Amino acid sequence: MLKIQNITHKYPLHFEPILNHLDLELQEGSFCVIIGSNGSGKSTLLKTISGELKPQKGKIIFDQKNITGLSIHKRAQFLSSVTQDIAKGTIAEMTLLENMSLSLLRGQKATFSSFKSAEKFFLQELKSYKLGLEKHMHTKLSNLSGGQRQLAALIMASLAPPKLLLLDEHSSALDPKTSQKLMQFTANLIEKHHMTTLMVTHNLSDAILYGDRIIMLHKGKIVIDLKDDAKKALTIKDLLDLFYHFENELLVNSAEGIE
């Protein structure tokens, strides 16, 4: 379904590329978790897939089509993103109903009639999740709690279930209890709609608990790639050991460069 081929991206004034000839292939229905230290290229990878960033080299193939040069607007027809920044992808001064209406029309033109005709549908949709959000349909997003807004953002991202869902630390700004609730809701939603998913997280417990595949990025490359039973066998200690191994390797290489 998704093929990342030789992707390289370098930010201005940076000596090294943040993505360094990276290759990745994702099968339909896969739920892949991405981990790695700060600066390893995790968020940059998602931004190149979403179209927010254009790589200097390489190709992005989706459903056998080259989408490397495709606009964000056109990619929105088949992919959705939810990030840790609650304000991104939503409009705080619009109501939940208005935000959901816009989300359902991804890649299309919105009209006043589309808002009115969708209200009954959204009411039933929100009730089905049993989260109490249906009580806030006419509430501005700015007046909802952080957890409610992230739940709403996730629901909006899956209203017209995308072929590809990108999650960039979408639960990291929440308290542990709310984060846990959001993650369980996320997993249920992904399973319900069979959405192919890439999720960046710093929470190692979540990295182990969720998804059927885990990859680790280091210096813009995939250094660990485990699936199914191999992933299930991982422990937090295993992941910490991997982090320490690659960080120590980086320190050793840096010291040798100075010499």
| pLDDT number for residue 255 | 40
Q: How confident is the model at residue 139 (pLDDT cuts 50, 70, 90)?
A: very high
Domain boundaries, the chain: 2-92+146-151+158-237
| pLDDT number for residue 252 | 43
| pLDDT number for residue 254 | 43
For residues 6 and 105, what is the distance between their CA atoms, to the nearest angstrom?
A: 33
257 vs 213, which has greater pLDDT?
213
Query: Residue 99 in contact with residue 141, Cβ under 8 Å?
Result: yes
Q: In what order do the strands lie in the sheet with 2-9?
A: 19-26, 2-9, 57-62, 65-66
Tokens of 16: 């090294």
| pLDDT number for residue 257 | 44
Cβ atoms within 10 Å of 192's Cβ, excluding its own: 10
Give percent of the chain above pLDDT 90: 61
pLDDT at 195 over 80: yes
| pTM score of the predicted model | 0.89
| pLDDT number for residue 42 | 96
- Lowest-confidence segment of 21-25, 97-101, 235-239 by average pLDDT: 97-101
Q: Three-class SS of residue 130?
A: coil
**DSSP structural state of residue 95:** B
For residues 104 and 156, what is the distance between their CA atoms, to the nearest angstrom?
A: 7
Residue type, 211: G
Question: What's the average model confidence in pLDDT over 102-124?
Answer: 68
| pLDDT number for residue 109 | 52
**DSSP structural state of residue 230:** H
Select the CATH number that applies to the domain covering 2-92+146-151+158-237 from these four: 3.90.420.10, 1.10.1740.10, 3.40.50.300, 3.40.50.1370: 3.40.50.300
pLDDT at 194 over 90: yes
Count of alpha carbons within 13 angstroms of residue 190, beta-carbon side: 24
| pLDDT number for residue 124 | 86
Report the phi/psi class of residue 190: left, alpha or beta, with left for phi > 0 and alpha for psi in -120 to 50.
Answer: alpha
Q: What's the chain's average pLDDT? A: 88
State the alpha helices, DSSP H only, in 51-161.
72-75, 96-104, 112-129, 146-157
For residues 117 and 137, what is the distance between their CA atoms, to the nearest angstrom?
A: 14
| pLDDT number for residue 14 | 81
pLDDT at 106 over 80: no
| pLDDT number for residue 115 | 56
Tokens of 197: 């998913």
Cα Rg, the chain, nearest whole Å: 19
105 vs 244, which has greater pLDDT?
244
pLDDT at 173 over 70: yes
pLDDT tens-digit map of 42-87: 999 999 999 999 999 999 999 999 999 999 989 988 999 999 887 7
For residues 208 and 37, what is the distance between their CA atoms, to the nearest angstrom?
A: 16
Question: What's the average model confidence in pLDDT over 131-153?
Answer: 91
pLDDT tens-digit map of 4-27: 999 999 998 888 899 999 999 999
For residues 133 and 58, what is the distance between their CA atoms, to the nearest angstrom?
A: 42
